[in-house]
Every structure is written in structure tokens, then in C-alpha cells.
Amino acid sequence: MSLVSDLWSCFGALFGGNMGVVVDLDLSKISFERSFSSGSLRGELHPDVWFCLGGCSMFWAVNTEAIALGVFRVWSWKAVPDHGSGDEAAQEIMKTHDLTFSDRPNLSIASKLFYEAKDVGFVRYGEYWRRMRSLCVLQLLNNKRVRSFCAVREEETALMIEKIKQFCSSSSSTTVNLSEMLVSLTNGVVCRVALGRKHSERKFKELLGEFVELLGVFNLGDYIPWLAWVNSFNGLYKRVDRVVKELDDFLVSVVEEHMDLRREKSGGERADHDGGDEIQQDFVDVLLDIQRDNKVGFPVDRDSIKALILDMFAAGTDTTYSALEWVLAELLKHPKVLKELQNEVRRIGNGKQYITENDLEKIHYLKAVIKEAMRLHPPIPLLVPRRSTQDVKLMGYDIAAGTQVITSAWAIGRDPLSWDEPEEFRPERFLNTSIDFKGHDFELIPFGAGRRGCPGIQFAMAVDELALANLVYKFDFAVPNGARGEDLDMSEAIGLTVHKRSPILAVVTPCSF
């Protein structure tokens, strides 16, 4: 059997049943063993799996209904008995053996996009990663820093609300493209926080979208080096090089703009503030201060600064928007849940102009709704691959050093061994439980867990909670054309981050208090 047909059969089985993933991608000995799942092994290719040599998203370009449950691995062609649930395997990977699985595979496209892997998300495990993650957690994404951008989040949310109001009052139609509004909101917040001001140019938004898209592209040359030439002919490498150059030109201009402002201030007040509530620096300012003053005890070069800023955009825009998009879609599909949420938010708001961040801790049903939507629709359904640094036993099986692990957060969130009626949207399941998605409860890991878990959870949730609370506070929503919520199209687009295939269109009616 040829290599291509081996791969075709392997990935047909891989995505055809209810499984999750541990993948050993040494394709010179590729084979398959099914584990940690229920149901029979199906060898046929699922109709929603796309596969071609070169620049396709082999792991990520799938409809999530085809994604596996728990963890499986490429190892031998025979099926093995059922063995445990997905969250048990995830806990072994991200807690019990977290250090062993803290490495990343060498993904050449991500490496190029992030200045030869000088970021935090995709860089290999080691001293550089430890230092840069510490910098992110302690300097960029600590509680004080996140709180300092409260005004930015509230201003951008209020701007979105006013845009929707103006559209409703000036248009003959009350059908609003909410997806467009959410993209504008998340881009506005992240641009102001990371860069100091909004960059609303269409070219910038398109470049950012292409950047995120390329992160999800599977590069066959990473796994079969002698086939790397394919990407020189299909245009993938050329496209990556173009995006790298355009992003670098943009980031160089951003850094130079900040340097010019600092030079202007050099004769007067210092650009940085060291205490109290005055902290309102954007991330570029913070990183330039760290570079200048050597605040973290190791040198931070200009490429590292630019790579960390790109990390913020990769993790802070597309995924935050995706989470909001799916929450709103589920609320439109379930009008009773929407009404209950509105009742709670409007009781807390009590007629004031906007819901503020100080109000959010009182709105318990809001948090339950977001958790339930994230359970069903994690922004990145297949988490970024991990790589084992040594031989290890996982769920009773021997896993060799260098094995890649891809965890299906989507499948774990729908595992019937962990959730009652897992396909149903029922926020009430989170009202009387402490289960959260911060990496301690492995049945709910939309942001991953352990050393490689997302450090920006608090930042993302601050945006999502405030935006959603104000949307349901200020407006009533309905599906257009008199359709029923249950008929809403919930099909998914293809990509690393999974969005709705079609934008959210809703009949929006402003509420008067």
C-alpha cells in the first residue's frame, strides 16, 4: 500500500469514530491503535475530513462533529478494548505527566510567523519559554494589569452598543450582522491594549486573518521532510514569507511610533509609571520598559517583543470573537435561556446606562451560559500539539519520546462519561458546581491546562462577559424572517479557530429603561 493511501486510511479511521488523539507522527512507521473510546472503529473517510498534500489543515480542517473523543494514537492497526474517558487521559497529559508533555513539535510555519519561534505559544520547551511565559504572566497578564484596562473594555463595549443602536434607528431593516460587531469589538480592545490605539484599516484586519489562518495550516514537510518541496510549488511558503514581511513592516512601524513618543517625553515626564492606578501602558510600552531597564533579569530583544505582540493577537482576537459568536448563537437558538439571562442582567442593571465590570460578579447565570457555550464550542477544538520529551506510560500504554499529543477539547466537552445529555445546551448544569475552565477541571479545558495552558484566560473572559452582559441588557434578539431558534444554522467553518460558517444575523430591538 502506498504512503498516501496509508495516510488516507489512517486519517479516515482517525476522524471517523468517537476518539481523541495522541499521535506519533514518525511516518516511516505510521500505524494505528484505537483506545480510550467507545463504539466501533470505522475505516471509511468521514465526509467532513479534508486531506491533500501540502498546505491543508490536516488536523484542524475538520468539522468538529468528526473530531475524536478522548485520546487516540497512531501506533498499530489493531483495535484495542475501551479504556477510560477523555478527561482522564487529558489529566494524565496536562497534570500527571505535564512536564514530560510540555514541549511543542517543531512547526515550521508557526516558527516563521513568530520570528523563529520567539513567542510563548508555539516555542519549544526550555529556558527561553520559561522566561518568556513568566514575563507574560507577571508583567503583561497579571490581575492588576488586566484590571487597568477596564476602561478600554467598557469604552469599546459601549461603542459597539451605540453602533447597533444607530444601525437600528437609521436602517429600514432591524436585522443586524452581529458577527461584524463582535469582530470590531475584539479587534478594538486588543489593538488598544497591545498597541495603544486602534488600527481599523481593512488591510490590517485582512492580514491578521491570514496570519491566524496560516497558524492552522498543516505543513506536510514538518513530518515527511522529503515532501517539503510540495509547498514550494503550491505557493504555501511564498504566502508565509509575504505575511511574515507585511506583519514585520507593520510591527516595526508600531514599535518606532512608540519609540518616537518616548523620545519626545525623554526631556520631561518618564513614559512609564511604576505604581498605583496610573498604570495605563499598552503592552508595547511595557515590553520596551522591560527591554530598557532589564526588569526581568534577561535580555529581551526586538524580535521577542514583536513575537509576544503577535501572540496577543493570535490568542486575543480570533478566539475571543469565536467564543462570543457561539454564545450568541446558542442564545438565539434557545430563547428561554436568553430570556432567563436577560432577566438576571436587567435585575442587576436596574435601569442604569450600562453594565460595568463591577456588576459581573453578581451575574451568576451569565457565567454559566458562557461555560456551557465553551463546553460545546471551544474556540480551538483541537488544542495546539504537545510533544513528549521522554518515554512515558499513558493510561497504561507505553508512549515513546517524541510522540505528538493533540487533545480534542471539543470531544472531551461532549463526553457522555463526564456530562449528562452532553449534546444539550443547558447552562443550569454549571449553577451548583465549582467546575471552571481555568485548567483544574479536565472535563472542561477549552483553554488547555498545565504549563502550556493559555495564560490569558482572565483577559479573554473580561471581554466576553462584559460584551455579552451589555448586549442582552440593551437589546432583545430574535432569529430573522420569523424562523424558530431551533432552525438556526449552527454549521461550522473550517480552521484552527472554529467559527460559525455563516455570520450571526439577528433581529435586534433596543430596550428602553
Q: Annotated binding site for heme: which residue ranges?
A: 454
Looking only at the bridges linking them, the beta strands covering 20-23 and 70-73 are: parallel
Residue 309's SS3 state is: helix
Residues in the chain: 513
Q: What one-letter code names the amino acid at 471?
A: L
Residue 286's SS3 state is: helix
Half-sphere exposure of residue 21, counting CA atoms within 13 Å on the CB side? 30
* Nearest-10 Cα torsion for 79, 85, 86, 89: -90
Specify the DSSP class assigned to residue 385: P
Set of cell numbers at residue 368: 454559566
In contact, 308 and 254? CB cutoff 8 Å: no
Distance from C-alpha of 400 to C-alpha of 390, rounded to nearest angstrom: 7
In contact, 303 and 114? CB cutoff 8 Å: no
Set of cell numbers at residue 403: 510522540
Distance from C-alpha of 162 to C-alpha of 201, rounded to nearest angstrom: 20
C-alpha closest to that of 491 among 316, 325, 246: 325
Residues 6+ apart with CB under 8 A from 511: 346, 473, 474, 475, 476
Distance from C-alpha of 137 to C-alpha of 131, rounded to nearest angstrom: 10
Specify the DSSP class assigned to residue 96: I
In contact, 61 and 50? CB cutoff 8 Å: yes
Q: Which residues belong to the annotated binding site?
A: 454
Distance from C-alpha of 216 to C-alpha of 477, rounded to nearest angstrom: 33
- Look-up of cell digits 498604570: 279
Angle of CA points 51, 52, 57, to nearest 5°: 60
In contact, 37 and 20? CB cutoff 8 Å: yes
Set of cell numbers at residue 245: 514581511
Set of cell numbers at residue 451: 504549563
C-alpha closest to that of 69 among 422, 498, 409, 421: 409
CA 101, chain centre distance (Å): 20
